[in-house]
Each structure stands twice: as structure tokens, then as C-alpha cells.
């Protein structure tokens, strides 16, 4: 049985144009769960990871606006909140779909801490988009008022960006392994994991950042000795010259090609670039491993080589 780590993108958790209510997001997650169930029914062993950019951004906004009546929670706590409620939605949605299909597998979420280096240079160069999209004028006004770093996000609008340090270790890895080995469909490293550093006493302490979920998912896939890393996003295939008249969609991508296209600047930071970086790191980590980048609705076909972009 092939073991997969599936990294869900934001579109798998919240639909564009729909309200960001709990009910609307649960409905989207149920649709997502049907595609994951299709993969499970093909005989794959599945571990689920997910992003949290829009969700943690909204939680931070809620906390900040509520400061007159309740103290705002720090960023790492907001990340933990997003892990908990997104995991809860995935548990509900996926369990509902599996039961309807006669599958009694259990789904469980692990609130997961991921160790980062407190001296990671990425703390000084925020790059990870969170929260809602804004127009350029709105973004500049917010930056002037709050001091936030706002950047344009892959042609989709402007968003707040925060530090995105590299993942070093998954602190709850042994618990995750235990669950996976005993047949549980495990949801872990949600939002890239809660970023923690070690203080002078060697204790874990939360820090203000969002770890890229694709890079955390890659670390998870390596540590679990997965056969494939499946990165789900809004597009079916990786492209070069994206959104240009000469756009070219790629069915397969070699390590050499991926590195060449990266050097040429084909992949947007904070968007496709970390997905390519994660895919490369995984396939280079051990012979025989593969990474698939595709859209949610094409995931099952992509695993059979019938859709998406595959790196080997």
C-alpha cells in the first residue's frame, strides 16, 4: 500500500467568492473530503496536511478588533486555533463521506508544533501571505496604519505577509507515526505547524510566524517515509510563463528542469515556488519517491499519471 502525504491548499478549505463563515467552510471541506475519500478507496494510505493562510489571518484580525473587550492572543496561539478548527472540519467532513460509503476508518487531528531556528534569516524578510485579499490602495492604507508588511500575491491582489521560517523538526512526530501505523487517517502539521523555537533552557516557545505548509508537508512526508507527496492547489498543472500568451503546462518535470525554471523566475514566491521547492526536496531525498502537484478535483487521476504535474 502506497503511503501519501496530501497537502491541501486554501481552495480546498474556503471557496473564492463565498462567505468565510464556519458553515460555508464546512461545506467546502465536505466537497474536498469526497476527493480524499476517492483516493482512500483506491487503496492508498493517506495522511492529511493543510494550509491556514486565510483562516489564521482572519483569526488574527478578530483578535485585534476585539482588544477593547478581550486581550488579543499572540500569533502562535492564533495558529493553534486555526489548526484545531480546520482539523475539526476535516474530521467531520471526511468521516461523513466515509461513513456514507461504508468505510469505518477514523479521522483524528494532532495539534502539531514544528521547530524552527530562531536565527532563521526569513524572520527578517516576511514572505508568507495570510488573511484576505485587498486592493493596492487598501493594502497601502493598512500598512500605513498598522505597520504590517503588505505584498502583491501572484496577481490575485494584496495581502499581509509574515515571516515563514524553514521547518526543522515535527515535535509530535512519534504520536503521528503511532496513529498512522494503527490505521488512523491523521490530520497534522496544519498550517505548516505551530512554529516554535527553543529558548535558553531548551524549552519550546511559540513564535510569530507561519511555516509554509508545503515545506512542512515535505518534512512530514520524509519523516513518515511516504512514497509520494501530493500538493493540491488551484491549478491542474504547473506552468511556465504563467498567465502569458506563451503559457506552457507541464505533465512531468525533472529535477534539472525544475531547477532551471526556478532560476529563470517562472514560479511566484509565496505561491507556486514553495510547492516546487517542496516537491524537489522530497524527490531528491530518496530514490523512487515522487511528488504530484495538481488541483483537488484531479488528484486521483494525477496519482495514476493521467493529470497534474509529476516530479520524479
Q: Could you state, in order of their start, the residue ranges of all structural domains in the chain?
A: 3-311
Confidence at residue 127, expressed as pLDDT on a 0 to 100 scale: 81
Active-site hit among 53, 275, 298, 308: 275
d(C-alpha 294, C-alpha 102), whole Å:
28
Confidence at residue 178, expressed as pLDDT on a 0 to 100 scale: 98
Confidence at residue 156, expressed as pLDDT on a 0 to 100 scale: 80
Helical packing angle, 272-285 and 213-223, nearest 10°: 10
Confidence at residue 146, expressed as pLDDT on a 0 to 100 scale: 79
Closest of 262, 10, 32, 7 to residue 159, by C-alpha: 10
d(C-alpha 28, C-alpha 54), whole Å:
14
CA distances from 256 to 212, 233, 284 (A): 23, 23, 11
Find where cell 483524528 sits.
108
Residue 119 is among the residues annotated as catalytic for this protein: no
Closest of 221, 222, 211 to residue 120, by C-alpha: 211
d(C-alpha 112, C-alpha 173), whole Å:
8
CA distances from 255 to 262, 268, 281, 312 (A): 11, 18, 9, 7
Give the dihedral of Cα atoms 229, 13, 175, 107; nearest 10 deg: -100
Active-site hit among 213, 219, 237, 298: 213
Euclidean distance between the first and final Cα of the chain, in Å?
19
Confidence at residue 240, expressed as pLDDT on a 0 to 100 scale: 92
Confidence at residue 116, expressed as pLDDT on a 0 to 100 scale: 97
Q: Are 261 and 240 in contact (CB under 8 A)?
A: yes
Confidence at residue 150, expressed as pLDDT on a 0 to 100 scale: 87
Q: Regarding beta strands 228-233 and 113-115, do their DSSP bridges make them parallel or antiparallel, or are they unpaired?
A: unpaired
Residue 298 is among the residues annotated as catalytic for this protein: no
Residue 191 is among the residues annotated as catalytic for this protein: no
Residue 213 is among the residues annotated as catalytic for this protein: yes
Q: For the whole model, what pTM was predicted?
A: 0.90
Confidence at residue 271, expressed as pLDDT on a 0 to 100 scale: 81
Confidence at residue 103, expressed as pLDDT on a 0 to 100 scale: 96
Q: Could you say which DSSP state residue 94 is in?
A: H
Ramachandran bin of 139, using left for φ above 0, alpha for ψ from -120 to 50, beta for the remaining angles? alpha
Strands (E), 122-237: 128-134, 149-152, 158-162, 169-170, 185-187, 194-198, 204-206, 228-233
Q: Which phi and psi angles does 232 have, rounded to 5°?
A: -100, 135
d(C-alpha 39, C-alpha 46), whole Å:
8
Active-site hit among 52, 57, 63, 128: 128
For the domain spanning 3-311, the CATH number is 3.40.1160.10
Confidence at residue 262, expressed as pLDDT on a 0 to 100 scale: 94
Half-sphere exposure of 304 (CA within 13 A, CB side): 8
- Run of H or E including 306: none
Residue 52 is among the residues annotated as catalytic for this protein: no
pLDDT tens string for the chain (312 positions)?
A: 899 999 998 778 887 778 889 999 899 999 999 999 999 999 999 999 999 888 888 898 898 889 899 998 988 999 999 999 999 999 999 999 999 999 999 999 999 999 999 999 999 888 888 777 888 888 898 888 877 888 888 778 898 888 899 999 999 999 999 999 999 999 999 999 999 999 999 999 999 898 999 999 999 999 999 999 999 998 999 999 898 899 999 999 999 999 999 999 999 877 899 999 999 999 999 999 999 999 999 999 999 999 999 999
Closest of 170, 288, 120, 275 to residue 213, by C-alpha: 275
Nearest-5° Cα angle at 171, 169 to 172: 130
CA distances from 145 to 58, 138, 149, 155 (A): 18, 11, 11, 24
Closest of 302, 308, 312, 300 to residue 44, by C-alpha: 300
Amino acid at each position: 500500500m502506497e503511503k501519501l502525504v496530501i497537502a491541501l491548499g486554501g481552495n480546498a478549505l474556503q471557496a473564492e467568492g463565498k462567505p468565510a463563515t464556519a458553515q460555508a467552510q464546512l461545506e467546502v471541506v465536505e466537497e474536498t473530503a469526497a476527493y480524499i475519500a476517492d483516493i482512500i478507496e483506491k487503496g492508498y494510505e493517506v495522511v492529511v496536511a493543510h494550509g491556514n493562510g486565510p483562516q489564521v489571518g482572519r483569526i488574527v484580525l478578530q483578535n485585534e478588533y476585539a482588544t477593547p473587550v478581550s486581550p488579543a492572543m499572540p500569533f502562535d496561539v492564533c495558529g493553534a486555533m486555526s489548526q484545531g478548527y480546520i482539523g475539526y472540519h476535516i474530521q467531520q467532513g471526511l468521516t461523513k463521506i466515509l461513513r456514507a460509503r461504508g468505510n469505518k476508518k477514523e479521522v483524528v487531528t494532532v495539534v502539531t508544533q514544528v521547530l524552527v531556528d530562531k536565527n532563521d534569516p526569513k524572520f527578517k524578510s516576511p514572505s508568507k501571505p495570510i488573511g484576505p485579499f485587498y486592493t493596492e490602495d487598501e493594502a497601502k492604507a493598512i500598512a500605513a496604519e498598522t505597520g504590517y508588511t503588505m505584498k502583491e500575491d501572484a496577481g490575485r491582489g494584496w495581502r499581509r505577509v509574515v515571516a515563514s521560517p524553514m521547518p526543522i523538526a515535527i515535535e509530535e512526530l512519534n504520536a503521528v507515526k503511532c496513529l498512522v501505523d494503527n490505521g488512523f487517517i491523521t490530520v497534522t502539521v496544519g498550517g505548516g505547524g505551530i512554529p516554535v523555537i527553543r529558548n535558553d533552557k531548551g524549552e519550546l516557545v511559540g513564535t510569530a510566524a507561519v511555516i509554509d505548509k508545503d515545506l512542512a508537508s515535505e518534512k512530514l512526508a520524509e519523516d513518515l517515509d511516504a512514497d509520494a507527496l501530493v500538493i493540491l492547489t488551484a491549478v491542474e498543472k504547473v506552468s511556465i510563463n504563467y498567465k502569458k500568451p506563451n503559457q506552457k503546462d507541464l505533465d512531468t518535470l525533472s529535477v534539472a528542469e525544475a531547477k532551471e525554471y526556478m532560476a529563470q523566475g517562472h514560479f511566484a514566491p509565496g505561491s507556486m515556488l514553495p510547492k516546487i521547492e517542496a516537491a524537489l526536496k522530497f524527490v531528491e531525498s530518496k530514490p523512487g519517491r515522487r511528488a504530484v502537484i495538481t488541483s483537488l478535483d484531479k488528484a486521483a487521476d494525477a496519482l495514476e499519471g493521467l493529470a497534474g504535474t509529476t516530479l520524479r
